[in-house]
Structure 1
Amino acid sequence: MALHVDQGVSAVVPQAWTHKSNANEVLCDRWWRTGPDSFTVTAHWPEAHGFYLTRHGLYDPLLLGETIRQTLPLISHAAYDVPLGHQLLWHDFHWAVSTDALAAGDASAEIELHITCSDVTYRGTRAADVTLRVEALHAGASLGSARTRFGIQSRAVYERLRGRYADIAAANARALPLPSPAPALPAGRENFDDVVLSSADSANRWQLRVDTAHPVLFDHPVDHAPGMLLLEAARQAAHTLAHPRQTVVAAMDTVFTRYAELDAPCWLKADPLPDDLIGRARVRVVGHQNDKDVFASVVTLATVD
C-alpha cells in the first residue's frame, strides 16, 4: 500500500517509485502532500548530464520532461495506492518551458514541481487513470507547465492486453538490428550513440533507432520503445528539419496511440507547420509502425544565438 505522508510533511522519494534502475538517473528527491489531490515534488538537475546535455548555455528542456515522467509513478505509488509492478500507460503529454529559465549555472539546479491531479478514476481502491498538471519553478521563477494523462494497469491485465509482447526477454530477443545513425549535428547531438534517428528515403523521414543497450533511454529492460525515446526522436527530427538554424525545444504536444514494438521498424516523418503566434517554428512529427500511427507530436522551436 502507499505511504500517505501528512500534508506539509516532506518525505524522501524511494528510487523504486521513479521506475529507474540507475540511482544516478533519479531526479526527484522529496515530495509532500499539499491537499487531497495536490502535491509538491522537488528535484535536482545535475550540473552536467551524460545524455540531457547543456547546450547554448541552457539546460536540456527534455530534463523537464523526464522529471515530470518520474512524478507519474511517484504520485501513483505514494498517493494512490498503486503497488510496485503495475504498468503505466502514457495517453498524452503537453508541456511548455520558458527558455530564459533554462539558463544553466555552475552548480546543480533545484526544481520545484507543484502538481495537481484531477479526473482520477479508480479500479477498486487504487487509481486507474489520472490527469496530472504541473507548474515548475527554477530558482523561484516560472520554468514551465505541463499536463499529462496516463493509465495504470496491473501486471495481469497488462499481460492479457499485450499478449506475447509482454514477455520482456522474448521482446528484446526479437529486436531489430540497430541501424546506422543519422548525422548527429543536425539532430542536436554530439555523440552518434545518442542519435535515435536513422536516415531513410527522404530528408524528412527516418527510421526510429532503438538501442536497447542505451544506458539512459533503456535504463532497464522493457518490452517496447519507451515514451521518452519517442519524445527524443520527435525532438531530433524537429531540430534536423530546422537545421542549420540553432534552435531549442520550447514546447511539445504529444499523443501516444499505441506501443512502439521492438520487432518492426517504426518510421518517423516531420513536416513544418505555420509558426505560432509569437513567431516560433513548429514541426509535426508522426511515428507509424505496421501501417498504424504510434504517436504524433507538435514540437515548438525557439531560435537561440
Structure 2
Amino acid sequence: MSTISAPPRNLSSRLSVPAAPVRRLSFSHHMPPGAVHKASATEVFLTDALRLEEDRFAVAARWHRDRFLHHDGTSRQTDPLLLVETVRQALIHVTHRFYGVPQGHPFVLNTLEFDLLEGGSDLPEGGSDLREGGSHLPGGGSHLREGGSHLPGGGSHLREGGSHLPGGGSHLREGGSHLPGGGSHLREGGGTPIRQGGQIPVVLDITCARQAKSPRRLGMVLDAVATADGARVGRVRMHWEVLDARLYALARNRTRQQAQERPAGALPRGLRRPAPREVGYAHDEHVLLTRDAQAAHGAFWLDTDPGHPVLYDHPCDHVPGMVLLEAFRQAVTATVAPRRPTLTRVSAAFKTFGETDAPVSITVRPGSARPAGPSTVEITAAQSETALVTARVAYHLPRSPERHGVAS
C-alpha cells in the first residue's frame, strides 16, 4: 500500500464536473500543484483534462528532459517511471475533479502495472511544436470531444486480469491508431508554433471502473494509454482506493501495530552505497540503495534522503510507493551492471505500508533470461520478513555497455 495525499475530509457521492461542450485540450500551462497533490510547481506534468464519457477521460501533459524522473537528454527512450508518475497525477486529478472527491483524502495504491511498447518507446529529439491555448490531439485530425466517443475503439470496458485497453480492444500495437488525428503537431487555430525547450506533449486516454463505493470508501481501477508527440508509448493500470479520515486512521494504526510486533530489524555493518553509475545516475544524491559486500548478489537495503526534492516532494507518513519503484529500478540496474537495463514491463502489488523508522530490504531474484527479447526478475521490498511490495519486472539490455549513458 502507498498513499499519495494528506489526511481526508468527507467523501462526496456526486460527480463534481458534468460533461461539458466540445473544446480542445490545452498544453499551454501546467495545473496548480494542489490539483495533483504536489508541493512544487516544477514537478507538475498535467496541463488539462476532459471528460469524454461517464468514466472516460483525456488528459494532456508536458514532459521535460534532463531532470530526475525525466531521465537523460541523450536518451530517446521513454522513462517508464516518468510515465507512471504522469498517470499517478492524472489519477489524482480525475478523481477529485470528475468524481467529486474533496481535496485532502489519501489515495491508497494497491496494484500497478505498466507496459512500454517494444520499439515504440523512442521519443523524438528536441520535442515538438506546442501551440499556445489549445490543440488538436497529436495530429491535425478530428477534435477530441467531451461527452463523445471519438477515441479509438469507441468502447469503455476494463477487463480484469488482462492487458486489454480502453475501448474493448486489443493489446497495444506498435504503430497502432493514435488518438484522433495521426500526425504530430499541436495547433491553436493555425497559430505560429512555439518551441518549448525540448518539451514532449503527452496525451493519456483514460478509462476508470468503479469497483467499490460507500460513503467512506471508493475503490477504482484506471487504465491509461499514453501517446507522446503523436506516437504510442505504453499503457499503465492502477488499482486504488480513496478512504475517509476514520478508515485511513484505522488502517495506519493497524499497520503500525503490526510493524511494532515484528522482530526489530537492524542494518548490517559495513554497508556501502553503489557508485552512481552502477545504478544509472551521474550524481550521488539520486542513489537510493546500499549493500553489504558479503551478501548475496541482488541483495540491497533502501537508503533514502527525505530531502530529495522529487521523491519526497511533500511529507509522507510511510515509505512512498514511487521511492520503492525507483529503488527497484536501481536494484535491477546494479544487478546487471555495467549494462544499463530499460524497464519495459512491471506488475507490482503494494501489500502494506512501509514504516519510515525501520530498515527496508530490496531483493532481486533472477527470472528468465533471453539472448533476444526481455529478461525478467522478481523483486521484493520487505521489513523484518514482511513483504511491503512485490513486483515482476521485465527489461531489455543494450547490446554494448559503452553505448548507454547515465541519467543526470
Same-fold call, TM > 0.5? Answer: yes
Post-superposition CA distance 1:100-136 (Å, at most 9, x none): 4332522100110000011432123x86110000111
Q: 1:198 aligns with which of 273, 281, 290?
A: 290
CA shift at 1:202, angstroms?
Answer: 2.9
| Counterpart AA for 1:110 | P
Task: Kindly provide the CA deviation profile for residues 181-228 of structure 1, in whole angstroms up to 9, marking residues without a partner as x.
Answer: 322212112111111111132331111112211110000111111111
Note the C-alpha offset of 1:155.
2.4
Tell me what 2:121 maps to: 101
Match of 1:122 in 2: 213
Q: Is the 8 A contact 1:59 1:104 kept in 2?
A: no
Name the amino acid aligned to 1:113.
Answer: L
C-alpha distance in structure 2 between counterparts of 1:82 and 1:225, whole Å: 24
Q: Which has the higher helix share?
A: 1
Structure 2 partner of 1:132? 222
Aligned residues: 294
Match of residue 258 from structure 1: 352
Q: Quick one: which amino acid aligns to residue 291 of structure 1?
A: E
Corresponding residue number in structure 2 for 1:249:
343
Task: Work out which structure has the larger RCO, using CA pairs closer than 8 Å and 6 or more positions apart in sequence.
Answer: 2
Corresponding residue to 1:281 among 375, 382, 390: 375
Instruction: Say yes or no: does 1:73 pair with 2:92.
Output: yes
Kindly report the root-mean-square deviation, in angstroms, between the aligned alpha carbons of the 2 structures.
Answer: 2.5
Aligned partner of 2:92: which letter? P
Aligned partner of 1:38 in structure 2 is 56
1:272 matched residue in structure 2: 366
SS of match in other structure, 1:101: coil
Q: What SS does the aligned partner of 1:241 have? A: helix
Counterpart Cα distance in 2 of 1:50 and 1:275 = 29
Q: Does 1:186 align with 2:278?
A: yes
1:21-36 map, 5 Å: 21-36=39-54
Instruction: Report the Cα distance in structure 1 between the residues aligned to 2:230 and 2:75, rounded to whole angstroms.
Output: 22
The alpha carbon displacement at 1:164 in A equals 9.0
After superposition, the Cα gap between the structure-2 partners of 1:276 and 1:72, relative to the gap in structure 1 and judged at 3 Å, is farther
Normalised TM-score (structure 1)? 0.88
Alpha-carbon shift at residue 278 of structure 1 (Å): 6.0
The farther-off stretch of 42-51 and 138-147 is 42-51
Aligned counterpart for 1:15 among listed residues 30, 33, 36? 33
Per mean C-alpha deviation after superposition, the further-off stretch among 154-163 and 14-23 is: 154-163
The 1-side partners of 2:323 and 2:273 are apart by 14
2:57, 2:279 → 1: CA distance?
A: 36
Cα drift, residue 276 of structure 1: 7.0
Distance 2:342 2:246 in 1: 41
The 8 Å contact of residues 69 and 79 in structure 2, kept in 1 or not, is answered as no
Deviation at residue 70 of structure 1 after TM alignment: 0.8
- 2:314 aligns with 220
Structure 2: gaps (5+ residues): 1-11, 127-197, 257-265, 404-408
Q: Name the SS of the counterpart of 2:278 in structure 1.
A: coil
Normalised by the length of structure 2, the TM-score is: 0.67
Deviates more, 1:247-256 or 1:156-165: 156-165
From the superposition, tell whether residues 233 and 50 of structure 1 become closer, same or farther in structure 2 (CA, over 3 Å): closer
**Distance (Å, rounded) in 2 between the aligned partners of 1:164 and 1:213:** 27
C-alpha deviation, 1:242, in angstroms: 1.6
Secondary structure of 2:85's counterpart equals helix
SS, match of residue 279 in structure 2: coil
Displacement of 1:157: 1.9
- When Rg is computed on C-alpha atoms for both structures, the one with the higher figure is 2
Could you report, residue by residue, the CA deviation over 1:214-246 in whole angstroms, capped at 9, with x for unpaired residues?
110000111111111111011111111121223
Counterpart Cα distance in 2 of 1:210 and 1:195: 8
Instruction: Render the CA deviation track for 1:126-155: whole Å, top value 9, x for unaligned.
Output: 861100001110122111011110111112
Q: Which runs of 4+ in 1 moved over 3 A?
A: 7-14, 275-278
The 3 A distance-change label for structure 1 pair 88 and 278 is farther
Separation in structure 1 between the aligned mates of residue 217 and residue 205 of structure 2, nearest angstrom? 20
Deviation (angstroms), 1:50? 3.6
- Give the share of equivalent positions with the same residue, in percent: 27
